[in-house]
Structures are given as C-alpha cells and as structure tokens.
Amino acid sequence: MAKKSEQLSARQRQIMQFIRHFTAERGYMPSYREIGDAVGLSAVASVSYQLKQLSDNGYLSRDENISRSIDLKIDLPDSEASPWNVEEENQIPIGDAALIPLVGRIAAGGPITAEQNISEYYPVSRQLTGKGDFFLLTVSGDSMIDAAICDGDLVVIRKQPTAENGDIVAALLNDEATVKTFRQRDGHTWLLPQNSAYEPIVGDHATIMGKVVSVLRKL
C-alpha cells in the first residue's frame, strides 16, 4: 500500500511545480484538466488520482467539489531563493501601493520611524517607489529649488545608511533632518544645496537616513 511520506514521484513533482507556476502567472488555481494538459495526463481521473496522493501526504489541500480549490502547502524548490528580503516594519502594502509613514519631528538616536514620530500614513504607488523600506519627510525651505524640490513638498525616502555621489538624500545634522545632494570628495562628505543662495555643508558628521526616490507635491 501507499505508505507514509514517500518521496514524490516525478509526476507529482511535475504537478506541484506546474501549480506553483500557474498560480504565479494567473493569480488563481488551475483546474484538473489544465493540470492534465500541462503535465501530459489525458484523463482527468489521473489528475484526480495524483492530487489525492499529494493531498494525503500533506503537500496540498483541496475542497471537495469546489473547482480550483487547490491550496499548496509546500513550495517545492524550483531553484531560487530571493535575496531581496526587505524588512518592512511600518508599511502595509496595498496592492499596487505602499502605505508610507509621514515622519514629523526627527529625534537623533532612536529609530526614525518610531511610532510617536508618525503623524500619518500616505498611500504611494509602488511605481513611484520601487522596492524597499520607506518614510516620508516634509521639505522645509527652498534650498533644493533648483532640483525642483520646493518648500512643503513631500519626499519619499528609501532607508539606506549611505549614498552615491549625486543622490539626493535625507540627512540628520544636529538633530535636524535636511534634504540635500550627496557628494564625497577629498575625503570629505558634502551636502550640497541646489540653490545658489545657499552654501555647501560639510556633512562628515551627518547621518544619512536614506535616499530620496520620489517627490510629491500638493499645489
């Protein structure tokens, strides 16, 4: 008789992987006939048979008489492990959007997105942010006006501890958050305003909070 947790047969592995790919692409489960077509089983009953084995061994579950009710319990490794494991501590993804906290006062020391600093969450399209861990800052002053960033603008900042030359960053300098262009030269870190009325700042002791990835403005 079929014994306990036997190893999966080639066919069963084939089915498991097809289900995974199908759901990834289409967003819902395949029917028995679709599975059969994909793995080369001409009889629905054969699919039913294999699915019963998989179900009995805990690889998946399904609800009787309900179409497309397969529920995979195990992700059979195809190959990959994704290195893009971003820690999201405060965002709740809304479909195509991310909820990003607007940070009020910036206090040196503690975590930037500590709860008491958050006044509100803004939904922002992922198209505008990309992947990562974000927070929002309200721009104060017009030191970045030549970069088309105005007083009152909201900037979406992806948390990261450093930056590349030319990036616009949010930095913590003397307990104050500021948005400037990042530049390293002569062994020094500079925070450059984009407004000829302002002078470059030596940022050697500044803390880079993250990189500005989007700008939001309400007129």
Partner DNA sequence: CCATCTTTCGAACGTTTGTTCGATTTAGAA
Partner DNA sequence: TTCTAAATCGAACAAACGTTCGAAAGATGG
State the residues that interact with a copy of itself by CB under 8 A.
26-29, 31, 61, 63, 66-77, 92-97, 120-125, 127-129, 145, 148-150, 154, 168, 212-219
Shortest Å, Cβ 14 to DNA = 9
Residue 159 annotated in active site: no
User: By C-beta, is 74 or 128 nearer to DNA?
Assistant: 74
What does the block give as tokens for 115? 């709860």
Q: Rounded distance, CA 156 to CA 48, Å?
A: 50
Residue 143 annotated in active site: yes
Half-sphere exposure for 98 (CA within 13 Å, toward CB): 22
The residues facing 136 across adjacent strands are 102, 156
User: By C-beta, is 42 or 165 nearer to DNA?
Assistant: 42
What does the block give as tokens for 132? 């990562």
Q: Rounded distance, CA 153 to CA 217, Å?
A: 5
Shortest Å, Cβ 48 to DNA = 4
Q: Is 34 in the site for DNA (CB under 7 A)?
A: yes
Q: Is 45 in the site for DNA (CB under 7 A)?
A: yes
Q: Is 1 in the site for DNA (CB under 7 A)?
A: yes
Q: Which of residues 47-86 bind DNA (CB under 7 A)?
A: 48-51, 53, 62, 64-69
User: By C-beta, is 92 or 108 nearer to a copy of itself?
Assistant: 92
Shortest Å, Cβ 36 to a copy of itself = 16
Q: Rounded distance, CA 5 to CA 113, Å?
A: 46
Among 26, 44, 108, 164, binds DNA (CB under 7 A): 44
Give 37: exposed, middle or buried? Use CB within 10 Å, 0-12, 13-18, 19+.
middle
List the catalytic residue out of 143, 159, 211, 214: 143
Q: Rounded distance, CA 150 to CA 51, Å?
A: 60
Residues sharing a CB contact under 8 Å with residue 178, sequence separation 6 or more, in sequence order? 143, 170, 171, 172, 191, 201
What does the block give as tokens for 57? 């061994």
> If contact means CB under 5 to 8 A according to the sort of partner, which of DNA, a copy of itself, none does residue 140 touch?
none
- Residue numbers of the site for DNA (CB under 7 A)? 1-3, 5, 9, 11, 31-34, 36, 40-46, 48-51, 53, 62, 64-69
Query: Catalytic residues, which ones?
Result: 143, 180
